[in-house]
Amino acid sequence: MSHMDAEGIVESSWSGGTSPFAMNSKKLGMWLFIVSDSLTFSALLIAYAWLRLESPAWPRPFEIYPAIAFSSLMTFALLSSSLTMVLGVAAANRGDRKKAVRYILLTMVGGLAFVALHATEWYKLIVIEHVTPWSNPWGTPLFGGTLFGLTGLHMLHVTIGVIYLGVVAVGFARGKYEADDVEVSGLYWHFVDLVWMFIFPMLYLLSVNPH
Amino acid sequence: MSAHEGAIDQQHSGTTKLFVMVWVYLLALTGIEVFLAYERLAVILMLVILIGLSLVKSALIVAYFMHLRFERLGVFLLLVPAMVFCICMMLIWFFPDSMRLIELRPH
């Protein structure tokens, strides 16, 4: 895009001062972070798929009830928290601070429910089933390593996300942060949800006990 | 912001009804995935279907919840093709190498 000014000098988007992507730098920065983080998770998921394909006896220990029902409930909590987050962003863009903060708090509740359910599941696996990152009762030791590695990194993202949303909610309620900041935190939260959409089927649904 | 401007802005970033619809679709697709696991299909078939459904779900999240559909085309072109290219580069040796190792496995 270019135009001539009064002196006939041609200005273009490359001259600076314009926003070719029509978004602020914080939002663009978050998008670039999300792309890099999605490559980290892609690498881990591809490595997991490779190991699984190469191992003659990859364990498939999860029963529909309770393990799959439990992880489905976790998926429901995360998906619902994404809905409340997007509604919070919409409220923030409308300038309705009170409603936006309420939706962000609901999102945090969804995230905390996910972490609590996940911690319970880890407790069952570690204490009752005796699964560790290097051993398990069912065979291929790497099963525990990949499971705890992938879900652990994801749970770390969720935990950081809950803290991040808390900081944004307080800042937005006090007028320190603007709607743009809420939207940027929303991008991060939806990404965490998106990653789970791959971890849930690949780790849990593909490891349902075939008998 | 006037009510009219607010309505236009909402049209360009989605409405509550649209977000709830996307959420319902996401839940329905998750339900289908769990149902397939319950049916205990063959692993390869399950993998193909599940990855396909996960891609649809992630596209819904990115397009509507993350508003990428409402951003400029330039943003999509900046982010998505490069990411897809990198993932393809990760996968380039995945299938030949894993197939070779499966062939080497003692039967």
Confidence (pLDDT) at B6: 47
The answer to whether residues A197 and B54 touch, using CB atoms and an 8 Å cutoff, is yes
- The domain covering A24-207 belongs, at the CATH homologous superfamily level, to Cytochrome c oxidase, subunit III, four-helix bundle (1.20.120.80)
pLDDT at B3: 47
* pTM score: 0.90
pLDDT mean across residues, chain B: 86
Q: What is the mean pLDDT of residues A43-66?
A: 89
Is the model's pLDDT at A186 over the cut of 90? Answer: yes
How far is residue A187's CA from residue A146's CA, in Å, rounded to a whole number? 26
B102 contact partners, CB below 8 Å, separation of at least 6:
A53, A54
> For A77-86, what is the mean pLDDT?
98
pLDDT bin (cut points 50, 70, 90) of residue B67 is very high
Q: A47 exposed, middle or buried (CB, 10 Å; 0-12, 13-18, 19+)?
A: middle
Does residue A12 register a pLDDT over 60?
A: yes
| CA dihedral over A92, A98, A104, A110, signed as positive or negative | negative
B37 and A208 within 8 Å at the Cβ level: the answer is: yes
Q: Taking residues A2-15, what's their average pLDDT?
A: 56
A196 in contact with chain B, both atoms CB, cutoff 8 A: no
A46 touching B, CB under 8 A? Answer: yes
DSSP assignment of chain A equals: -EEE-TT--EEEGGGSSS-TTSS-HHHHHHHHHHHHHHHHHHHHHHHHHHHHHH-TT----B-IIIIIHHHHHHHHHHHHHHHHHHHHHHHHHHT-HHHHHHHHHHHHHHHHHHHHHHHHHHHIIIIIS--BTTB-TTS-THHHHHHHHHHHHHHHHHHHHHHHHHHHHHHHHTTSS-HHHHHHHHHHHHHHHHHHHHHIIIIIGGGB---
Q: Domain ranges in chain A?
A: 24-207
Which pLDDT belongs to residue B54? 96
Average pLDDT over residues B56-76: 95
Q: Please list every residue in chain A whose beta carbon sits closer than 8 Å to the beta carbon of residue B41.
A: none
B10 membership: H or E segment, kind and range:
helix B3-13
Per-residue pLDDT tens over the stretch B78-101: 999 999 999 999 998 888 877 787
Q: Do A205 and B33 touch (CB under 8 A)?
A: yes
Please report, rounded to a whole number, the percentage of residues in chain A having pLDDT higher than 70. 93
User: How do residues A96-139 score in pLDDT, each as one tens digit?
Assistant: 999 999 999 999 999 999 999 999 999 999 999 999 999 999 88
Confidence of residue A10 (pLDDT cuts 50, 70, 90): low
Looking at residue B2, its pLDDT comes to: 46
Q: In angstroms, rounded to a whole number, what is the distance separating the alpha carbons of residues A109 and A78?
A: 10
In whole numbers, what is the pLDDT of chain A averaged over residues? 91
What residues in A contact B67, CB-CB < 8 Å? 183
- For A175, the token pair is 């007028």
Q: Which candidate in A185, A208, A209 is best for mutational testing of the B interface (most B CBs within 10 A)?
A: A208
pLDDT of A211 over the 90 cut: no
| Contact present, A162 and A108 (Cβ < 8 Å) | yes
pLDDT over 70 (residue A49): yes
Q: What is the pLDDT of residue B39?
A: 87
The more confidently predicted of residues A31 and A57 is: A31
Distance in angstroms between the alpha carbons of the first and the last residue of chain A: 63
